[in-house]
Structure 1
Amino acid sequence: MKRTLLHLILFISLYALPYQHINAQVDQQNLRKSQLDFVNLGFGMFIHYGMPTFMDQDWSDPNAPLSLFNSPKLDADQWAEAAKSAHMTYGCLTTKHHSGFPIWDTHTTTYNVMNTPLGRDVVKEFTDAFRKKGLKVMLYYSILDTHQEIRPHSITRKHIQMIKDQLTELLSNYGEISALVIDGWDAPWSRISYDEVPFDDIYYHIKSLQPNCLVMDLNSAKYPGDALFYSDIKSYEQGAGQFISKENNKLPAMACLPLQQNWFWKKSFPETPVKDVHKLVNEFIIPYNNAYCNFMLNVAPNADGLMDPNAIAALKEIGTLYAKGPGYKELPAYYQPIITHNIAKNVYSNSSWSDDMNIMDFANDDNFGTSWIANTAATGNPWYELDFDRSAYFNTIVITEGKDAPADYTIAYYHDGKWLAVEGEIKNQGRIKICRFNTVIGQKLRLHIQPKNGRAILSEVGVYHERN
């Protein structure tokens, strides 16, 4: 009997440990420190280098012949020295862009740099060179991969496993990675949703490998700048028209822009002037640093694997104008990132009388550019309701109001035939209100709204079951 009991205890222990690991929460105190450290880094080098370098394109042919890829003079030490001359503090390299060509020694596909005439692990050479100069190391990785057909309506379990396997290699074989910049995910042009490739699975996979590695998803075009949605750092790709508010930003942020005309090298670059360095420093880098925003300047190596002389000269000049990043002791108060699946997206919704075409389903259509608007001719306070069809667990509600439409809310959920009050404080963060509470289970959710400016406007109502 004792031996049987002992075996049972050992069995439970062995199988419970992986479960606990999978469900481990992100340490919010360590996350805040990493976010602060990132902001204080101030200024770094983005490096777009890959198959597009050899095709005069920013997106290469996903089946481009491996024979094209050859940089006989490739010198990552030159890249690091150039970054150091500009008083940059880190580098971030594109390990795989949207056309799906990995530039590291990967076992996940034969379509990689090791099978090209170059035959060298560029990620290793980059990480070694930058660390040798005392610079931090970050990596860029694209979820969209047209070579492997990781694209809308084509994604399989094997694709998701490949993504995890590739990230495991990058976060296991190259030392400490301060941040992972992810692209090609939940963007209008990639059309791969956080449900098709589950964000929370990938996010917690990254954190299980390197708990202090920041996850930055280049998704700012979609989400409001008042809260962190699916990203540890609010990221702005300025080349895509995404600009941070230097006056109002209160989130840890990153903005990126190329020094040259494009992200990847073009044959015209050596003879084409780079961006004005005085403008870059005085209108972007320093003002952004003063708005809790780290600035990442892209410099594209040429087909030889070297940075062009005009880019090297520009970086040295930047170094005479920019000394060091900000020295924040702490960042403004903000809420931890929203990570998990939004169970409110496109479920059946109902409401009090709407204003013309601005009906209820505009508030849970996963589009922050549309809104449900209450009709001011209606009597009584407006209300808004979500019906999940079947009971669901949740512990977080995020309300994104329309501009200049603040309101107070009481929230109730429907459970076993009764409406019960949500016991959680609603906290404001700009036009976003976040309510976190102990996990409940309910079939419906209802907001009772008391508008402050005469009209209730809901851009989005999100409901989540967060791990933290």
Structure 2
Amino acid sequence: MKKFLLFAAFLCGVYIFSTQKTFSQTAAAPLPLTQLQQQFVDLGFGMFIHYNIPTYMNDDWADPEASPAIFNPKKLNTDQWAKAAKSANMSYGCLTTKHHSGFAIWDTKTTSYNVMNSPLKRDVVKEYVASFRKAGLKVMLYYSILDTHHKLRPGQIKPAHIKMVKAQLTELLSNYGEISALIIDGWDAPWSRISYDDVPFEEIYSLIKSIQPNCLVMDLNAAKYPTEALFYTDIKSYEQGAGQHISKESNKLPALACLPLQANWFWKTSFTTTPVKSPEKMVNENALPYNQVFCNFILNVAPNRDGMIDDNALQALSEMGKLYKPAASLPKFPAADAPVVSSNLAKRKPANASWSWDMSIMDFANDDDFGSNWTSHPTVKNPWFEVDLAKEEGFNMVVITQEKANTISYTLEYFANNTWHPLTDSSSSARILIHRFKRVWGEKVRIKYNSFSSTASISEFGIYNERK
């Protein structure tokens, strides 16, 4: 482990600089984020491909010390994958370049735990992108932040780990042509417990955009954050098997919903004899209705241990192609605020407020938990809530997530040089209040309610210093 950390610290800084130039020389001109989001929604239907070292084990989460020797497909054929996706009228693919156990299936220089040290000794990512592009399909990649082999896990994260993540993403974005999107996993999830501060989200996000500005960043974080705004992702993601379901009635954001065709994400020996999910349900209850509410549907199809898609999955995909016909045009999602990508300076800082219910005191409004709330006592006519940053900080955005939508008139202020200064006087009936402004410096920030239709209640109060 110590050898890895020393090696990574030396290698990664040099590698990021040397590879970052590779793609930028041929990259397309940057497009507005809203245009990229709509283009993604318009893709409609795609293939998730969970193929990695867990394919060769009985669990989706592989042993982090599993030998590369088990990664030994005899008939690996990414052209077959692309042909199968085309048969279902899919428009893109997304491959698991590295899952939670840290095995990289590309020719990486960051670790020896990779496919080039397996019996295959072939760059699977390179073959995948070539096959899908040849078939006229867009290319996306999946990447896990959680990495149990390299000990990138809660309580053990070191600067060298972050350098490794940056170097690996730089390789993937520099050496394989245009990547339409990165689906990132194992980050800020209850089961990974790696926060956006442990591995700084804004740094990673900025790196991705600096190499490929038109690459969408999609973090699988829908379970924690409200559905009305984009927190730490360009596209709102819904993993349906984990109980995350998009609302077909109220969704207003560009979104992604995913399901596996079989019972698991990675291939299992039972797959050849177990019926796959109904093609009719996958199309008529998922892809088609989701497309009408600004949501792209991605269906996981797991190649087997030979590196091929099984016959029963191929047949199901072909049947889907008869049912799913790409629409000439899809609805345009309403204007949305830019994603929140910075660290919350207010998180768990001292808070104060006017009188509240004893079980809903001020601490609940900045505890990094959208399920808890500060709630004003209903007798208070002009409630207020404030966060003390403990020192003077620069910031240029405030995001207030209310417990529920509330028609309110309010004033935002910041405290500096022993005086409260106005940020804005506003009114809104939205649940989430997002304010961006020219950077100011202050020690405290507060909201004062001038009027409200229901009792003031805040789930999370966020203060951010966005990179510009």
TM-score over 0.5 (shorter chain) = yes
- Spell out the pairing of 1:71-82 with structure 2 (5 A cutoff): 71-82=73-84
- Equivalent residue for 2:417? 416
- Equivalent residue for 2:223? 221
Contact 1:290 1:326 in 2 (8 A): no
Contact 1:227 1:337 in 2 (8 A): yes
- Equivalent residue for 1:197? 199
- Equivalent residue for 1:318? 320
- Equivalent residue for 1:14? none
Q: Which range moves more in the overlay, 274-283 or 418-427? A: 418-427
Contact 1:426 1:434 in 2 (8 A): no
Residues 417, 333 of structure 1: alpha-carbon distance in 2 compared, 3 angstrom cutoff: same
Distance in 1, Cα, partners of 2:32 & 2:441 = 30
- Equivalent residue for 2:6? none
Distance in 2, Cα, partners of 1:28 & 1:397 = 27
**Is 2:445 the partner of 1:433?**
no
- Equivalent residue for 2:275? 273
Distance in 2, Cα, partners of 1:447 & 1:156 = 37
RMSD between aligned residues: 1.6
Report SS of the residue matched to 2:269: coil
- Equivalent residue for 2:372? 370
- TM normalised by structure 2 equals 0.92
Residues 115, 55 of structure 1: alpha-carbon distance in 2 compared, 3 angstrom cutoff: same
Contact 2:30 2:213 in 1 (8 A): no
Distance in 1, Cα, partners of 2:302 & 2:431 = 38
Q: What code does the residue aligned with 1:343 have?
A: L
Report SS of the residue matched to 1:437: strand
Contact 1:427 1:434 in 2 (8 A): no
Residues 342, 270 of structure 1: alpha-carbon distance in 2 compared, 3 angstrom cutoff: same
- Equivalent residue for 2:352? 350
Residues 446, 260 of structure 1: alpha-carbon distance in 2 compared, 3 angstrom cutoff: same
Residue of 16, 34, 38 corresponding to 1:36: 38
The CA deviation at 1:317 is: 0.1
Q: What code does the residue aligned with 1:241 have?
A: G
- Equivalent residue for 1:403? 404
Alignment identity in percent?
60
1:194-237 deviations in Å (ceiling 9; x for gaps): 00100000000000110100000000000001000010001111
Q: What code does the residue aligned with 1:460 have?
A: E
- Equivalent residue for 2:156? 154
- Equivalent residue for 1:394? 395
Q: What code does the residue aligned with 2:94 have?
A: C
Structure 2: segments with no counterpart, 5+ residues: 1-19, 21-28
Distance in 2, Cα, partners of 1:250 & 1:196 = 30
- Equivalent residue for 1:284? 286
Distance in 2, Cα, partners of 1:325 & 1:164 = 37
- Equivalent residue for 2:13? none
Distance in 2, Cα, partners of 1:454 & 1:424 = 19
- Equivalent residue for 2:341? 339
Contact 1:184 1:192 in 2 (8 A): yes
The CA deviation at 1:57 is: 1.1
Distance in 1, Cα, partners of 2:450 & 2:230 = 26
Q: What code does the residue aligned with 2:235 have?
A: I
Q: What code does the residue aligned with 1:253 have?
A: A
1:369-395 deviations in Å (ceiling 9; x for gaps): 0000001134x3110011000001111
Structure 1: segments with no counterpart, 5+ residues: 1-17, 19-26
Residues 175, 418 of structure 1: alpha-carbon distance in 2 compared, 3 angstrom cutoff: same
Residues 464, 275 of structure 1: alpha-carbon distance in 2 compared, 3 angstrom cutoff: same
Residue of 117, 121, 124 corresponding to 2:123: 121
Q: What code does the residue aligned with 1:59 have?
A: W
Contact 1:427 1:435 in 2 (8 A): no
Distance in 2, Cα, partners of 1:102 & 1:199 = 21
Report SS of the residue matched to 1:455: coil
- TM normalised by structure 1 equals 0.92
The CA deviation at 1:326 is: 6.2
**Is 2:431 the partner of 1:453?**
no
Q: What code does the residue aligned with 1:45 have?
A: M
Residues 309, 451 of structure 1: alpha-carbon distance in 2 compared, 3 angstrom cutoff: farther
Q: What code does the residue aligned with 1:462 have?
A: G
Distance in 2, Cα, partners of 1:94 & 1:28 = 26
- Equivalent residue for 2:141? 139
Distance in 2, Cα, partners of 1:28 & 1:366 = 33
Distance in 2, Cα, partners of 1:347 & 1:50 = 41
Q: What code does the residue aligned with 2:268 have?
A: K
Q: Which range moves more in the overlay, 326-335 or 246-255? A: 326-335
Distance in 1, Cα, partners of 2:374 & 2:205 = 31
Count of paired positions: 441
Q: What code does the residue aligned with 2:52 have?
A: G
- Equivalent residue for 2:99? 97
Distance in 2, Cα, partners of 1:358 & 1:427 = 23
Residues 119, 182 of structure 1: alpha-carbon distance in 2 compared, 3 angstrom cutoff: same
Q: What code does the residue aligned with 1:219 have?
A: N
Residue of 251, 254, 277 corresponding to 1:252: 254
Report SS of the residue matched to 1:229: coil
1:407-435 deviations in Å (ceiling 9; x for gaps): 2221111011111100476666x411111
Contact 1:425 1:435 in 2 (8 A): no
- Equivalent residue for 2:8? none
Contact 2:407 2:428 in 1 (8 A): no
